Amino acid sequence: MSIRRMVEADLDAVEGILAQSSPDAATWTRPQLGDMLAKPSLYAAWVAETGGTVVGFLYCHFVGDEADLDNLAVSPAWRRRGIAAELFQTAWQHALERGISALFLEVRRSNQAALRLYMRSGFLEAGVRVNYYTNPSEDAIRLVRKRL
């Protein structure tokens, strides 16, 4: 498995993983994803690839000295193999290199696997966003990891 920068040719695979992973997949359209790739000063995106197949992805955006992890997903067949953790570590290292002071994200309250991953990775709870998610409606736990 390798981690590399996402390119436009990866968008079909990313859309497929999104559809399998998130009830909110429709909130990220292909034009939005393409626009993100065209603005590397504002966004960064990576894919996890094995045998020429994209099996996971992560993308984030930057505002000043902060970053927001917008989405991280791994194909259901490839979960529980450390891929999400590798993607996250890649993003965190990139954020540090950019001088980011804090990385934020939201996660569904019910997504205990993701919450465990982020807590093991140094995130702390920073608040709750009530009814942040739709399909179904659910609160988001807001997490932050700060540069030491």
Catalytic residues: 106, 118
C-alpha–C-alpha distance, residues 75 and 86, integer Å: 14
* Alpha helical stretches, state H, the chain: 11-21, 30-37, 83-97, 112-120
C-alpha–C-alpha distance, residues 139 and 131, integer Å: 4
User: 111 exposed, middle or buried (CB, 10 Å; 0-12, 13-18, 19+)?
Assistant: middle
